[in-house]
Amino acid sequence: MTSTRARPSSRTWWMLVGLLLATFAVAGLGSLATTSGVDGWYQDADKPWFNPPNWLFAPVWTVLYAAMAVAAWLVWRRGGDLRLWWLQLLLNLAWTPVFFALEQRWAGLVVIVALDIAIALTLRSFWRVSRAAGVLLVPYLAWTLFATALNLAIAALN
């Protein structure tokens, strides 16, 4: 049973900062792993017609990472469980080096499908505690499903 009691307010802002730092640490590490791939094999890889321009990924992910942190914070404030959130964050961190740095397109697909499932489960869990938190994860799930389609198409084309 999930508690709906709010956490003490003196700690809430520090927790938000911590969750933002965690998500943007994942973003930073992902960016390091992406750079070698985007400028290397990915640049020359065959891509599907629906592949967006490279410049679009950074601003989209920036917004999504911020929304992920705020969603987790809203759930934490109500005493909700963040274990699934941490799991999806770890899977998010794992996908980028597998796909880009290690150039393992099919293994990347396995990781990103696991990520899709973890995000969907997190969204469902968050929705039960805070509808706002659930809504904040919808664009993240949608974008990750889109990324899954890209991963599959790139794996199949190359």
Which DSSP string do the residues of 1-23 spell out, in sequence order?
----PPPPHHHHHHHHHHHHHHH
Q: Please, which pLDDT band fits residue 1 given cuts at 50, 70 and 90?
A: very low
Out of 40-54, 120-134, 136-150, least confident range: 40-54
What pLDDT digit, counting tens, does each position of 43-76 carry? 899 999 999 998 999 899 999 999 999 999 999 9
The pLDDT mean for the chain works out to 91
37 compared with 67, residue with greater pLDDT: 67
Q: Domain limits of the chain?
A: 9-45+54-157
Q: Which CATH code of 3.90.1150.10, 1.20.1260.100, 3.90.1170.30, 3.50.50.60 fits the domain covering 9-45+54-157?
A: 1.20.1260.100
Asked if the model's pLDDT at residue 91 lies above 90, the reply is: yes
Buried b (16+ CB within 10 A) or exposed e, 100-123: bbebebeebbebbbebbebbbebb
pTM: 0.89
Q: What is the dihedral of CA 17, 22, 26, 28, to 10 degrees?
A: 40
What pLDDT digit, counting tens, does each position of 5-24 carry? 555 565 788 999 999 999 99
Q: Please, which pLDDT band fits residue 4 given cuts at 50, 70 and 90?
A: low
Whole-number pLDDT of residue 20: 95
Residue type for 100, please? F
19 compared with 30, residue with greater pLDDT: 19
CA dist 27 and 113 (Å) reads 19
Angle between helices 131-157 and 57-77 (to 10 degrees): 140
